[in-house]
Amino acid sequence: MNRHATTIASGPAAGAGKPPLWHRCRRWALPVLGLVVLGLLLSHAHKVDWAGAWEALQRYPATLLLGVLGVATLSHALYGCFDLIGRRHTRHRLPRWRSWAIAVVSYAFNLNLGSLVGGIALRARLYARAGLDEATVAQIVGISLATNWLGYGLLAGGLFAAGAIAPPREAHLGVDAFRALGVLMVLLAVAYVVACVFLHGRHWQVKGRRLELPSAQLALVQLALSSVNWAVMGGAMYLLLGQKVPYATVLGVLLAASIVGVVTPIPAGLGVLEAVYLALLSGTVRQGTLMGAVLAYRALYYLLPLAGGIVLYLLLERYAARHPVAGEGEQKG
């Protein structure tokens, strides 16, 4: 009797030690999906007009490339302001320049090495070196993520709803369904602002962490700043394409490529950006010209800012070593 009771009691405990089926499947699903996408890209690589892409790159005037680099720099600088919103929301006392610099470094690494490395791990390390506690850092990261995707939802949703770009055939999604998706994205962005209006000041405990929505004023700043940043990103590609494609179309394709890059576990979305642009614009722009623009965009928006981010990261580490924090209390208030 006792032995049977022990067996029954230990059964759930043993089962509880196993992760749910979804978590076990997800562990393998994302890498497999990444390998499938990478395989498809490699299988089509020989069809790309690489010679035409190289010729297109050589035809770019230096003034245009410098101008696009300036636009890319502006975008990275705008992203750095996302953490200033988090600074205002959490009321930590880290200097504004340091919060901004940490966000800029994190973004450069995030684009090239993935969100876990740049968006979370590196940002957490730099803020910890500055004396902020884990709860505050988590709120800053959350505000930054919300800011980024709020603007995305507003712009992408608006473009999808307006029919600025057509859904790719591979998506098996009708035009009406695509527009409905756009309307839903806009409504979600608006719903966030409305929630901040009516629920600001309330607190929730999630896994031992205290969560609070920002004020309505900060929510509007989030929406505006992120929308401008995404629009600037689209402007960089618009210039590289020689203004031959309507700006709304270029921006819409960039937004579509961004979300595909997020769900595909490939560092820097390598090949994803190229594949989406080829799929959606190959009938509008010559393939060589299109690939040249995408490669130039990757160099100017991803790689060169990463070089600057590495330098800025080393400077931040040096500053942290020379100015160690005495305790968390000096950075919070």
pLDDT digits over 57-79, tens only? 999 999 999 999 999 999 999 99
Tell me the average pLDDT across 285-308: 93
CB atoms within 10 A of CB 51: 9
Enumerate the domain spans of the chain: 62-322
Query: Count of alpha carbons within 13 Å of 307, Cβ hemisphere only?
Result: 5
8 Å CB contact between 311 and 101 = no
CA distance 283 to 33: 27
Nearest to 126 by CA among 158, 150, 96, 103: 103
Element (H, E) at 133: none
By mean pLDDT, which of 16-25, 137-146, 211-220 is the weakest? 16-25
- Residue 28 confidence (pLDDT): 58
pLDDT tens digits, one per residue of 141-192: 999 999 999 999 999 999 989 887 776 665 556 778 888 988 999 999 999 9
Range of 40-54, 103-117, 256-270 with top mean pLDDT: 103-117
Note the Cα 293 to chain centre separation in Å: 21
Alpha-carbon span 271 to 267, nearest angstrom: 10
Q: Report yes or no: 307 and 106 within 8 Å, Cβ to Cβ.
A: no
Amino acid letter at 314?
Answer: L
Angstrom CA distances, 22 to 4, 26, 29, 30, 266, stand at 31, 6, 10, 12, 21
* Per-residue confidence (pLDDT) for residue 115, from 0 to 100: 81
pLDDT at residue 58, as a whole number: 92
Largest CA distance in the chain: 86
86, with CB counted inside 10 A (0-12, 13-18, 19+), is buried
Alpha carbon distance 300, 294 (integer Å): 10
Name the token pair of 3.
């032995």
